[in-house]
Chains A and B, each alone.
Chain A
Amino acid sequence: MCKKEELVLKDREGLSYTMSITKTIFSGFGGQGVLMMGYVLATAGMQEDKHVTYLPSYGAEVRGGTANCTITVSDDPIASPVASFPDFAVLMNTPSLMRFEGKVITGGTVFLNSDMVELRPKRGDVEVVAIPVNTIAERLGNARGANMVMIGALAQKTGLVSLDSVIKSIKEIFATKGAKVHEMNTLAIKEGAAFVEEQSSS
């Protein structure tokens, strides 16, 4: 897992800045739970008393086609909720990779749903974390929980928010869905985290 102080990045103009503010883009087909991932991250950030913004794409785009949202998590008040160059991109399908791969900041990380995306980023200046989130979710008997696997992986890898906060957030967000659903989703989040942990230690 990356430590925060290690994340001194350079953007394209070579300006370096510390990561007290991070921007993450989530993108995929409608129905992949993309907006929900963003909402979970923003809620978890809020629970840690961080400043957060959640900016969805909306309108025609929301209805049927691709969906994306930008989440900013910051220790200080957030000036702009818009990402010039996101630090992290969570890309759940191939069109999303094509659209956002070029935007990620140098030194940033791309999280790919490797069950849906065969291509890999052409650039060498970003880290790529490929996770078969559908396969993992199906193995857990929670086929609709692929986004939960991904958010677990994201939290574990980036340290943006703690796994505990993510789990606490989904408990609140899915409060009406009962203990069983919460248990399944918690498991999916932990499996996602375990997957990236295993990858980085191997």
Chain B
Amino acid sequence: MGKKRLMRGSHVIAEAATLAGCRFYAGYPITPQNELPEYLSGRFAKLEDATFIQAESELAAINMVMGASMTGVRAMTSSSSPGISLKQEGISYMAGMELPAVVANIMRGGPGLGNIAPSQQDYFQATRGGGHGDYRTIVLAPHSGQELVTLTMKAFDLADTYRTPVILLGDGLMGQMMEPVTFPEPIEPSALPKKEWTLDGAMERDSRLICSLRLDPFKMEQHNWKLARKYAAICERETEHESYLLDDAVVAVVAFGTAARIAKGAVNRVRKEGLKAGLFRPITLWPFPENEIRALTRSVKHILVFEMNFGQMVEDVRLSVGEKATVHFHGRPGGIISTPHEIADAITRLVYRHELC
């Protein structure tokens, strides 16, 4: 680990991507993630084997990433909510073609043009595939500067391992906030495992094809089941979460990303008053840590889901716990950043209303 550096979240993603061996970026400007391509354009200019393209559109950008990925290069794009909607075409194709790529979504308020304030309104879009067809994307939700380093680098590994697009789901606050971070040693692209499926010219081998078209429904079905098995394997192996002060908790707050950060502050506050609250933070939003949340209900009968939207992840929590606990919801859509005080209030009200102390 190197020296501590005070860095903006979007710069951290860009630096971590470079260290992970990413050598292709294409993107289109949109607030609040512009600092990411701005940083990367300078960073890549110093590398002989890296390509940065400011594309003419989000569509072009994601399709350039698709082409880059076909050659085996670690490739990424980034955007914010409206731009990610445009990229869904390419993400669906890449899921179908089994091409790795990392897509960072620094979410903002919506729907439509919305605003540029931090939001978590794209949870459904990210975790349900987002585009057309039967597929999923791995979704990672960092909540700190250092986690932006580890999860960005992990995103590239997961993408390559499973040959699938991975979404790094942050928000305006994660992108803009500065925190001290340390970086690991860089990974040289030449040191990465060789990919045996890339397009590099049919020299002394049969020609290869990367496509998502399968006109024969039986072949399409086979391919769909192949993807389904892959997704099942991901669910089994890759679920990640953080438990915070849950051992003796009677109320569990479930929140991800920035919301989890705020909720942690709230949990600390109510703990000072003697209320037994804890935080469950999904780090992978897909696969969702449903077994781990279900296990929580052995001791916790009330769960408060806090999201910066009007209720999306809460559906996954409800599906996970069934009748085993009561799921409450506190949400602030539109780009509002709740204060820890507000969430502490919500926890406190819940505790007293249900006489949990």
Contact = CB atoms under 8 A, between A and B. Distances in A.
Interface of A: 11, 15, 17, 39, 42-43, 46, 51-56, 58-60, 79-85
A12 B267 CA distance: 18
A168 to B, nearest CB: 13
B337 A52 contact: no
Interface in B338-357: 338-342
Contacts of B179: 52-54, 81
Nearest to B179: A53
Contact of B176 (A17, A56, A80, A85): A56
Scoring B4, B172, B178, B338 by chain A CB atoms within 10 A of each residue's CB, the highest score goes to: B178
A59 B117 CA distance: 8
Given A60-B116, A80-B265, A52 B272 contact: no
A84 B273 contact: no
Nearest to B268: A79
Contacts of A56: 176-178
A79 B173 contact: no
Contacts of A82: 173, 261-262, 265, 337-340
A39 B341 CA distance: 25
Contacts of A83: 339
Given A39-B6, A53-B178, A84-B341, A58 B172 contact: yes
A11 B272 CA distance: 13
B261 A81 contact: yes
B74 interface: no
Contacts of A80: 261-262, 264-266, 339-340
B107 to A, nearest CB: 14
Nearest to A12: B341
A84 B339 contact: yes
Interface string B16-36: 000000000000000110000
A55 B171 CA distance: 13
A125 to B, nearest CB: 17
A134 B179 CA distance: 30
Nearest to A53: B179
14 contacts: A11-B341, A46-B4, A52-B180, A53-B178, A54-B6, A54-B178, A54-B179, A59-B117, A80-B266, A80-B340, A81-B179, A81-B261, A82-B261, A82-B338
Contacts of A17: 272
B269 interface: yes
Nearest to B117: A59
A12 to B, nearest CB: 9
B6 A43 contact: yes
A83 B273 CA distance: 19
Q: Which 10 A-B pairs have the closest CB atoms?
A: A80-B265, A84-B341, A79-B264, A84-B339, A54-B178, A79-B265, A59-B116, A80-B340, A46-B180, A80-B262
A55 B6 CA distance: 12
B32 A58 contact: yes
B13 to A, nearest CB: 16
Contact of A59 (B32, B177, B178): B32
B273 A15 contact: yes
A53 B339 contact: no
Contacts of A42: 6, 178
Contacts of B337: 82
Contacts of A60: 116
A39 B180 CA distance: 12
A85 B341 contact: yes
Interface string B117-132: 1000000000000000
Contacts of B269: 15
Contacts of A46: 4, 6, 180
Contacts of A58: 31-32, 116, 172, 176
B12 to A, nearest CB: 12
Contacts of B338: 82
Given A15-B269, A79-B340, A81-B173, 9 more contacts: A43-B6, A52-B180, A54-B6, A58-B116, A58-B176, A82-B338, A82-B339, A84-B340, A84-B341
Contacts of A52: 6, 179-180
Nearest to B264: A79
B268 A39 contact: no
A40 B179 CA distance: 13
B180 to A, nearest CB: 5
A124 B164 CA distance: 59
B105 to A, nearest CB: 17
Interface string B244-273: 000000000000000001101111110011
Contacts of B262: 79-80, 82
Residue from A53, A81, A85 with most neighbouring chain B CB atoms (10 Å): A81
A20 B179 CA distance: 18
A177 to B, nearest CB: 18
B10 to A, nearest CB: 10
Nearest to B259: A80
A81 B177 contact: yes
